Structure 1
Amino acid sequence: MKSKKIQRRLGLGSVVTLGLAASMGLVSCSGSGGDAGGGNESGEKASLVIASWGDPFTSATQEFLVDPFVEETGYDVQIVDAPGKYVASLESQQQANNIEWDLLDSTSAPDAYIAYDKGLIQEMPADVKERVSEVLPEDAVTDFGITWSILGYITACNAAAVDACPQNTTEMFDVEQFPGSRTSISTSPLVNLSLAEVASGVDVNDLATHDIDIDRAFAKLEEFKAAGGTWWGSGDQYMQVLSTNEVDMGFGYSGRSYAVAEDMENLEVNWEGGLYNPGFWNVVEGSKHSEAAWEFVEWIATHPEAAANWGQALGYSVPNPESFDYIEPDVAETLADFPDNRKQLGSMNFNWYVENYQEVNDRWQEFLRG
């Protein structure tokens, strides 16, 4: 799929309504009826707390996942907003011996691997892992959770601003053949290093087991940065620098790229040589209701229509292949797990990142300052 320009129907009306409820303190919900189960040692009914990213994430999770789960189980479930602060917050909670959360909604992949390495999230029970593995693809199930809110880091280019747009990651790094100001994410060194390695000739199919050549990757990124342009730190900023013509092209979230394309007729979006980036559902180490928390994770994995509703509302992909039976075709074609898109993306080597975390992040900060 070389280029897509489509109109996405995000279906956010009810999400916005719930967002207003969230701002008034109404997002937490409490179920009634049924055998709650999942209690602690004193027999108290489970009351799960989910850490999420704020609206529209929080409202979509509430409407499409939490509400039907509560209706079935009778559990109490509350959502709290903690955007981008999972690892630091869990470290603080652990140090204070005061675990406040049970579940993490859509932990970014690098953070999930770091959190597991630090002992901040739980290993999935063997019986849960066995059951979810029967319905999810092999690469959607890890030792510590299931993939969720999956996106692609892909290329986008304003065709009206340049003579020719790059059609893939390698061409995006070719600043001589494709001149123009560029952007990329400022908060994820692993993403940028992985993209640089693809541009250096590493096959996307080998990325997941490839040890990044740090010197080579940073040298390639220096060439990219020399082309100029603002590096974005949030999805909103990424959309802004594209839509206001602050940059001509760059790498960004797939969902955000298509959102810009709705109003920017000349924006070309390409998946070739991009990165597959999952989030994760995780259970917090030290949760007093871990059994009920894993029940919620399993419920999500085994309810493809609910997952589809969540994914379609936000423009993120979900792992259950059956979910695509419930997603409108024009939305499905913009998601990372759509077959034509998935085969063009590489998976990052998160284990390598854990092992080289300090060196990579130190050099990344130097790179950004330089």
Structure 2
Amino acid sequence: MKQSDLRGQFRPTRRDIIKGGLGLAAGALALPVLSMPALAQSKPERLFVADGGSILRDAYTKAYYEPFEKETGIKIVPQAYMGAAEVKAIVDNKAWGQADVVLTATADASVIEHQNLAEKLDYGMIDRADFFDSMATDAWFMTLVAGSCLAWNTEVYPGEKAPKSWADFFKKASSIKGRRTLQKAATLTMDIAALGDGVPKDKLYPLDLDRAIASLDRIRDDLVWWTSGSQSQQNMVSGEADMGFLWNGRAQQLKDQGKPIDFTFQDAVLDGDAFIIPKGHPNKKWAQKLADIVAQGKNQAKLTESLPYGPANKSGVALVAPERLAKTPTGPENRKITVLQDFNWWAQNGEKAMKRFTEWTNG
């Protein structure tokens, strides 16, 4: 949920280190092929896992890596975040020393599957039916669910003056005071902008790019961009912006710190991270074992103890304390008022959407 968090062009990241995914996927960066004889052994000493780093890595370590290490004796060695481009380079070059497993943006995971760059997962080991709709496919499943939420400064918009929806956020400056902050990336921002133009949640896809651009046009002069989760928080805390798109974990963190920030899950667009094994990887047997650990509801619930991102499966949700679950995107009441990003649509249409967004931002 880049940041060194809590997410570039393709995927707005909760992590400060995240790179763009879709735009690079077609022309992947060349990665060196590392000589790793140990990778061919039946049981390696370690698995290399790419993740988002920082406090997200800390949460992954407690929830997923430590149980795997305890059960198998194999050490997890975290690597820097990788998107679709990096996975393509790994597979094309058989650069297996780069990563055995990639925990990447779900939109990137969909690109990776669409390009046939991922191993099929062994659902004999994993209960696929336990996952919520569209949160697991043949090649990936979600490791957490994050919400792209509308947040505001409670001193500027107290009580009933608070914005209620993205339609409020995208009103002309003459209708609402204050500057607004959005992530400077097509995915999620374009989805949110379409909602702000009045597109109903259940009609959001296929995404109407014209309506998304129309929304952005209305507030062009009042926009402050961010490119990392930490910058989104800074824009709000400093007063640079009075309303903004923040990931729910970032907004909740500010609220918990006593900052004058509140947020709503109303019409939040949900995305998150997903588990991918690069296609053809010689360590796929042990990567599949890690997949089994990560897919277990008890471990997905444990991650929620560290960060207010939701489990992607029913058994995980059932194990989270109700008061904590209410702060996550997959809490029952929050799921009713949010919309899951259509990852397959972005895999197939993302380049076109990104081109429109880049042309608009440069115009």
Any idea what SS the aligned residue of 1:78 has? strand
**Counterpart for residue 136 of structure 2:** 141
State whether residues 150 and 318 of structure 1, in contact with CA within 8 Å, keep that contact through their aligned partners in structure 2: yes
Q: Sort the Cα spacing of 1:42 and 1:158 in 2 relative to 1 into closer, same or farther, 3 A.
A: closer
Which residue of the partner structure matches residue 77 of structure 1?
75
Question: Over residues 322-366 of structure 1, what are the superposed CA-to-partner deviations in whole Å (9 max), with x where a residue is unaligned?
Answer: 334543444322100011111111122222222222222222222
163, 166, 178: which one pairs with 2:163?
166
Please tell me the residue identity of whatever aligns with 1:344. Answer: I
TM-aligned CA deviation for residue 243 of structure 1: 1.0
- Paired position in structure 2 for 1:214: 209
Q: Contact 2:194–2:209 at 8 Å: present in 1 too? A: no
Q: Residues 122-271 of structure 1 correspond to what in structure 2 (within 5 A)?
A: 122-125=119-122, 127-128=124-125, 131-162=126-157, 164-175=161-172, 176-187=174-185, 189-207=186-204, 210-226=205-221, 228-271=222-265
Aligned mates of 1:47, 1:171 — CA distance in 2:
50
1:298-337 matches, within 5 Å, as: 298-302=292-296, 304-337=297-330
Counterpart Cα distance in 1 of 2:325 and 2:250: 15
Asked whether the equivalents of residues 229 and 246 of structure 1 are also in contact (C-alpha less than 8 Å), the reply is no
Gaps of 5+ in 2: 1-5, 7-37
Match of 2:271 in 1: 277
Shift in CA distance, 151/206, structure 1 to aligned 2, threshold 3 Å: same
Does 2:346 match 1:346? no
Check conservation: 1:205, 1:347, Cα contact below 8 A. Answer: no
Given candidates 97, 102, 105, the residue that maps to 1:104 is 102
Change in CA separation of 1:282 and 1:97 when aligned onto 2, cut-off 3 Å = closer
Q: Which of 285, 288, 294 is the matching residue for 1:291?
A: 285
Q: Distance in 2 between matches of 1:328 and 1:42?
A: 42
Aligned to 2:352: 359
Alpha-carbon spacing, 1:305–1:350, altered in 2? closer, same or farther (3 Å): closer
Give yes or no for contact 1:192–1:221 (8 Å, CA) kept in 2: no
When the two structures are aligned, how many residues end up with a matched partner? 323
Mark the CA change 1:96 to 1:157 in structure 2 (over 3 Å): closer, same or farther: same
Q: For the residues of structure 2 that align with 1:246 and 1:200, how far apart are their CA atoms?
A: 24
Q: TM-score, normalised by structure 1?
A: 0.80
Which of residues 108, 116, 129 in structure 1 aligns to 2:113?
116
Q: Aligned to 1:280, what secondary structure does the other structure show?
A: strand
CA distance in 2, matches of 1:356, 1:182: 27
CA distance in 2, matches of 1:181, 1:353: 29
What letter is aligned with 1:234? S
- Secondary structure of the 2:224 match is coil
| Whole-angstrom distance in 1 between the partners of 2:231 and 2:121 | 35
TM-score (norm 2): 0.81
CA distance in 1, matches of 2:175, 2:153: 16
Q: Which has the larger radius of gyration?
A: 1
Q: What's the CA shift string for 1:121-180, capped at 9, x where partnerless? A: 22224534xx42243333322122111221111111112124722111222112343332
Q: Offset of 1:318 from its aligned partner?
A: 1.3
Counterpart code for 1:368: T
| Partner SS, residue 139 of structure 1 | coil
- The DSSP-based 3-state class of the residue aligned with 2:231 is helix
Structure 2: how far apart are the matches of 1:149 and 1:341?
Answer: 15
CA contact (8 A) 2:102 2:276 kept: yes
2:86 — aligned with what?
A: 89
Over the aligned positions, Cα root-mean-square deviation in angstroms equals: 2.4
CA distance in 2, matches of 1:58, 1:259: 17
Shift in Å, 1:240: 0.7
SS at match of 2:88: helix
8 Å contact kept, 2:84–2:108:
yes
Cα deviation 1:195-214 (Å, max 9, x = unaligned): 1222233221333xx21222
Corresponding residue for 1:21? none
